[in-house]
Structure 1
Amino acid sequence: MKRLKPLNDYIFKKLFGENEVKDNLVAFLNAVLDRKDRERLVTLEIVDNKELTRELINDKTAILDVRAKTEDGTQIDIEVQLTNQHNMDKRTLFYWGKLFNEKIAKGEDYKKLKKVITINILDFDYINLDKFHTKFHLWEDESKDYMLTDLVEIHFVELPKFNKLEEKNLKEDRLQRWLTFFNKDISEEKLKELMELDTDIKRAEERLEYLSSDKKTIEIYKAREKSLHERANMISSAIEEGENKKAIEIAKNLLDLLDIETIATKTGLSIEIVKSLKH
């Protein structure tokens, strides 16, 4: 039996975004939010539990996020992104704003607005800091310890940075254990170690084992993998096309200043393309 990728967004939703696996989500959130003792989440409500239809799975633009609401009304949204679209900062602010506004009607008291936490799990480097887990609030520029409001909380968890860590602390760090669990190439020995260290991960892995043996789940998983692969290729092509257009514009501006070979070297374009721009 082949272990399915936990970060395929369809599988991630089956592991954390359904009522029957609510305990998995509570455990993972306590690790990300570093909730301990009295602050620990004990229960929450799964929100917007979309029916995972074939149409939704095949939709390259569909977002299979996991949404939840805590007892005090705080909304939490978790999104897995495997492909860098170079817009994750703006994207997360856009979706944070939608969640923040959707629960208040026009004319209602702003005091009714509740905290929104967004968590982005990224399979690429994005934040220009060395740490793999970054957390953002609204702090005053000079008085760094003054927060305007705690209603905004945005997390980025970057897996490549975590995977590059030479020394990991799986015994004491719950989040590091979860990120290791997410590794699609995890060894049986490491998986066994995780399950012995953490009963929550043992429960999640047992759920993943069940999903990995279910024919219907495997069929939908493969369809989603294909859709995600096509989406990644589409994004890559769009970025490449944009870079080529920029390079061509630069080359045109250099035609009267430099020779064809130098322009080709500087822009990354072929000599044939640079020659064609002369006509």
Structure 2
Amino acid sequence: MEKLTPRVDIVFKKLFGVEENKDLLISLINAIVQEEDQVADITLLNPYNHRNFRQDKLSILDIKAESCTGKRFNIEIQITDAKDYDKRALYYWAKLYTEQLEISRSYDILSKAIGIHILNFTSIPTSEKYHNIFHIKEIDNNIHYFKDLELHTIELKKFISDKDSTLSDIVSKVSSGLDQMGYLFIPS
């Protein structure tokens, strides 16, 4: 019998996307995001992105959540290499960000939106790192002005290249909470 793995959507959602396992979701988020975005509590939100018109594309996120400070999170697990995944990630982020603003509301209520994409394929071949963090920055002087956009990619294929590692090899590689969480997604 095959072992259940959180790399499968339904297992991922059952493990991290249910109220009784909120502590696991908080641990996952805190293992990935930077210190200023750490969360103490989280509210799970409806994963369906609202459509303004019937012809709009319906998108369903794996996990959508909001911190007690208003920061919003989209956490996705993607098994197969999807063409234009970068565009999908931006689309999901844009919906997560814009749905905060209701008619006649002021823009100052908008909070940071963070997309976390755990990928079972190599999405960014030009980077050797398995965890990449993206922001919008000014191209010449690196000014980070638009601070509400943050996207993380975690490429599992880069996390462990040697599936035959011994337990001591694995333990020696673990240097962060994200490393510890990463081993949860590696097949046995």
TM range (shorter): 0.7 to 0.9
Q: Can you give the 5+ residue segments of structure 1 that lack an aligned partner in the other structure?
A: 51-60, 186-279
- Residue type of the partner of 1:6? P
**Aligned mate of 2:63, from 62, 66, 73:** 66
**Aligned mate of 2:131, from 119, 133, 141:** 133
Deviation track 1:168-225 (CA, whole Å, cap 9, x = no partner) reads: 555431111111111122xxxxxxxxxxxxxxxxxxxxxxxxxxxxxxxxxxxxxxxx
Deviation track 1:207-253 (CA, whole Å, cap 9, x = no partner) reads: xxxxxxxxxxxxxxxxxxxxxxxxxxxxxxxxxxxxxxxxxxxxxxx
Answering whether residue 95 of structure 2 is matched by residue 98 of structure 1, we say yes
Change in Cα spacing, 1:8 to 1:176, as seen in structure 2 (3 Å) is same
Name the structure 2 match of 1:33.
33
Preserved CA contact (<8 Å) 1:133 1:155: yes
Could you say what the CA RMSD is over the residues aligned between the two structures, in angstroms? 2.3
- Residue type of the partner of 1:29? I
- Residue type of the partner of 2:150? E
Aligned residues: 172
Q: Can you give the 5+ residue segments of structure 2 that lack an aligned partner in the other structure?
A: 49-57
Q: Distance in 2 between matches of 1:63 and 1:170?
A: 35
Q: Distance in 2 between matches of 1:40 and 1:106?
A: 30
Query: Which SS does the other structure have where 1:5 is aligned?
Result: coil
Preserved CA contact (<8 Å) 1:170 1:177: no
Change in Cα spacing, 1:96 to 1:39, as seen in structure 2 (3 Å) is closer
Change in Cα spacing, 1:4 to 1:64, as seen in structure 2 (3 Å) is farther
Percent of pairs with identical residues: 33
Name the structure 2 match of 1:10.
10
Query: Which SS does the other structure have where 1:106 is aligned?
Result: coil
Deviation track 1:40-73 (CA, whole Å, cap 9, x = no partner) reads: 42111111167xxxxxxxxxx9745111100111
Deviation at 1:107, TM superposition (A): 3.5
Name the structure 1 match of 2:182.
179
- Residue type of the partner of 2:16? F
Answering whether residue 109 of structure 2 is matched by residue 112 of structure 1, we say yes
Name the structure 2 match of 1:272.
none
Deviation at 1:108, TM superposition (A): 2.2
Change in Cα spacing, 1:138 to 1:158, as seen in structure 2 (3 Å) is same
Structure with the higher strand share, 1 or 2: 2
Deviation track 1:134-189 (CA, whole Å, cap 9, x = no partner) reads: 00011110112x2112100001100101112787555431111111111122xxxx
Q: Distance in 2 between matches of 1:64 and 1:151?
A: 19
Deviation at 1:94, TM superposition (A): 0.8
